[in-house]
Amino acid sequence: MIEIDQHGVPVGVRYLEKEEMGRLWKHSKGNHNSFPAICVHTPLLPLEICDYFDRNKWKKSKLLEKIKTLSALDLKLDKNANCPFQIGTWTQEQLAEVKSSTQPQLAALRQLLNVFPHADKAVGFGQQLLDLIKEQLERCDDEALVDLFKELFVGQLNPNEKQREKKPYICKVMTYFEVREAHLYANLVGSDVTRRSLIDLLQEKQEQTDTVVSPFEVQLVKGIGRKYPNPVLPVLGQTYLYSKKETTTCLERYQLSGSQAFQAGREEVDKMNNALAFLTAAERENKT
């Protein structure tokens, strides 16, 4: 998790266990449109450093040796690659309503959206993050976090030999962003309160659709519109209540795809989504 202060500067980095990370929400579409979770697919350091790095030695090294190895690297962001730490156009459009909202439950998310770097500021932010990590390495005693830093810096050899010429190294790190000044907000970005408030806001502002005949109750209801929810559930991770991809033809005869091929009622889908959240809540773990 990376904390950002009110000036848009990264000021803290900490390691999240897989289980903790799985409980955090994200608003996403595909692999490259996601917020406040952003997946880093390519190492942050230049190719020559990735080539030089001895990965076999790394596997055998103790914590202090690992820290010494990373501290010796020239931590300069690869400016030939697209810095992943930027807010995308899709996210800006999707979450535009948050910026105009006055709900205190969305204040932390609104602040994060306001200070998060756009494309023109991404490189500067990426270098600030590398500088922060360099400082944090000096006092780090968490080996899992050090291994994460290594993955961000130099990644791993691309296992796909056909792609290796164009992309010799890959990185598989999911970063999550949070505001630093927690005391200023009713709840943090990653909280369930924020998730629920965002869902309510997006559903309120969702494009109005004509009524449809409910496939569940056989009566006229307000349709779900363009998108079914895709909640992030414990253990299961990202889940889709309707899995047909928008980019593939559902029925060639009718040329329908996505939610248009199966228009359920908005309230019905909300009930399903809420039921899933209730059944998979942390307090009901190991209960039937």
HEC secondary structure over the chain: CEEECCCCCEEEECCCCHHHHHCCCCEEECCCEEECEEEECCCCCCHHHHHHCCHHHHHHCCHHHHHHHHHCCCCCCCCCCCCCCCCCHHHHHHCHHHHHCCCHHHHHHHHHHHHCCCHHHHHHHHHHHHHHHHHHHCCCCCHHHHHHHHHHHHCEECCCCCCCCCCCEECCEEEEEEECCHHHCCCCCCCHHHHHHHHHHHHHHCCCCCEEECCCCCCEEEECCCCCCCCEECCCEECCCCCCCCCCCCECCCCECHHHHCCCEHHHHHHHHHHHHHHCCHHHCCCC
Q: What is the pLDDT of residue 209?
A: 47
- For residues 11 and 132, the answer to whether their CB atoms sit within 8 Å is yes
Low-confidence ranges of the chain (pLDDT < 70): 31, 205-210, 243-258, 288
And the tokens for 133? 């990590």
Spatial neighbors of 135 by CB under 8 A, at least 6 apart, are none
Residue 109 in tokens: 């998310």
pLDDT at site 156: 94
Report the interhelical angle of 266-279 vs 192-205 (nearest 10°). Answer: 170
- Its sign, for the CA torsion 65, 75, 175, 125, is positive
As beta bridge partners, residue 13 has: 2
Q: Give the C-alpha separation, 234 to 128, whole Å.
A: 32
pTM, two decimal places: 0.71
